[in-house]
């Protein structure tokens, strides 16, 4: 188990390690877009990792290639469908588009 904090709400959840950030967020009841169902094909689950980045799996080529196509990507960007949670706490900022 690990601790997942979601911004901007500040809600904290105990989630299983070894699952994707997307699955953890959905299991916790958080709303996050995921149009391609976790295949790194759409980029709709783009999030910012504010803390605990080293606890996540390393970004693979498919994720990096998709991030290269998204406007607003920064050094804290990850696709929630590709980032696998480790044992240390993670703070993720969900993006909202109007």
Which of 16-53 are b and which e, b meaning 16 or more Cβ less than 10 Å from the residue's Cβ? eeeebbbbbbbeeebebbbeeebebebbbbbbbbeebb
Mean confidence (pLDDT) of the chain: 95
Summarize pLDDT for 46-68 with one digit per residue, the tens: 999 999 999 999 999 999 999 99
Summarize pLDDT for 66-88 with one digit per residue, the tens: 999 999 999 999 999 999 999 99
pLDDT given at position 97: 53
Q: What is the DSSP string of 24-84?
A: HHHHTT-----TTSSSSSS-TTEEEEEE-GGGSPPP-HHHHHHHTTSTT--TTEEETTT-B
Per-domain residue ranges of the chain: 2-94
Give 37's pLDDT tier (boundaries 50, 70, 90): confident
Indicate the pTM of the whole model.
Answer: 0.93
Class of domain 2-94: alpha beta
């Amino acid at each position: 188990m690990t601790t997942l904090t979601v911004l901007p709400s500040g809600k904290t959840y105990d989630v299983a390690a070894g699952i994707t950030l997307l699955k953890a967020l959905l299991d916790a009841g958080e709303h996050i877009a995921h149009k391609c169902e976790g295949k790194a094909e759409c980029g709709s689950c783009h999030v910012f990792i504010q803390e605990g980045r080293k606890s996540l799996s390393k970004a693979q080529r498919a994720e990096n290639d998709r991030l290269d196509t998204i406007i607003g990507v920064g050094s804290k960007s990850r696709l929630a469908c590709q980032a696998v949670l480790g044992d240390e706490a993670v703070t993720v900022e969900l993006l909202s588009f109007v």
